[in-house]
Amino acid sequence: MKFLINSLLEIQNKHGYLPKDEMERISVEFNVPISRIYSIATFYNAFSLKPVGKHVIHVCKGTACVMGGSGVFEDTLKQLGILDDEDFTYQPIRCFGACSLAPVVVIDGKVYGKMTVSRLKKMVPKLFEDKDKTSKGDEDAR
């Protein structure tokens, strides 16, 4: 049994975004109007119509994490120039479900608990150095 949303997620994970021609292909495959595919692509947080950068940084803005101080991480990333750098995509997320290890930051799929400003300031510039490395999450390794 095929599900539209699962198929779109596969494309998003493979390409890092939803290319227009892929969306049109799905429209034909599922016999669903392109207007609905477009609606879906712009409704759900998981989808992006534009490619993501080489490095994806998620800061958890869930309740426990904000209380734990994740609110300043966006400022830190701004200060480091991440928000303006095309090689990086920053996305706030609401809750990875690791709340007892707040605040949580996920960099290229790897979950870091009990993050601090000073640690973030040390880790992120290293990513600038690895700009040539393609880093995808090591979820598949588990």
Partner 1 sequence: MAIKIEVDGKNYEVKKGKLLDVLIDLGFDIPHLCYHKAIGSYGACRLCLVEVKENGDGWRIVTSCSTDVKEGMKVRTKSQRIWELRKGVVELLANHTSSEIVKELASLYKIEVKGDKKCVLCGLCVNVCNLIGISAISFENRGVERRVNAPFGIPTEFCVGCLACTNLCPTGAIRFENGKLMVGDRVLSEHKLLRCVRCGKEVLTERHYEKLGVKDILCENCKRLMQAEKYFNSKQL
Partner 2 sequence: MRIRIRHQKGMKMLDKLKEKGIDELYGDRIAVGTSTCGVAAGALEVLEVLALDDTKNVVEVGCLGFCSAEPLVYVQEDGKAALVYRNVKKTEKIEEAEILGWFYPWEFSPLKLEHPELEGYRECPRLIEHPFYRKQVKIVLRNCGIIEPLSINQYVAMGGYCALQKVLEKKPEDVVEEVKKSGLRGRGGAGFPTGLKWEIARKNEGEKYVICNADEGDPGAYMDRSVLEGDPFSVIEGMTIGAYAIGAELGFVYVRNEYPLAVKRIEKVIEIAKKYGFLGKNIMNTDFSFDIHVVRGAGAFVCGEETALIASIEGYIGEPRIRPPYPAEKGLWGKPTVINNVETWANISPIILNGWKFFASLGTEKSKGTKVFSLVGKVKNSGLIEVPMGISLREVVEEIGMAENVKAVQTGGPTGGCVPKNLMDVAVDYEELTKLGSIMGSGGMVVLDNATCMVDVAKYFLEFSKIESCGKCVPCRLGLAEMVDIIERITKGEGSLNDLEELERLADVVANTSLCGFGKTAPNPLLTTLRYFKEEYEEHIKGVCLAGICRALVRYRIVEDKCTGCGLCKLNCPADAIEEVDEVYKIDDKKCIKCGSCFNVCKFEAVERW
Query: Contact positions toward partner 2, by CB under 8 A?
Result: 1, 3-6, 8-9, 30, 32, 36, 39-40, 43-47, 60-67, 69, 71-73, 75-76, 79, 93-102, 104, 111-114, 116-118, 121, 139, 142
* From 1, 6, 21, 35, residue interacting with partner 1 (rule: CB under 8 A): 35
Supply the minimum distance, in Å, between the C-beta of residue 68 and partner 1.
26
Helix axes 20-29, 34-43, angle to 10 degrees: 120
Tell me the window of 41-49, 55-63, 92-100, 112-120 that interacts with partner 1 (CB under 8 A). Answer: 41-49
- The reply on whether position 36 binds partner 1 by CB under 8 A is yes
Spell out the long-range contacts of 2-8 with Cβ–Cβ below 8 A and sequence spacing 24 or more: 2/30, 4/30, 4/32, 4/37, 4/40, 5/40, 5/44, 8/37, 8/40, 8/41, 8/47
Query: Of these partners, partner 2, partner 1, none, which one is at the site of residue 33 (CB under 5 to 8 Å by kind)?
Result: partner 1
For CA atoms 86, 92, 98, 104, give the dihedral sign. positive
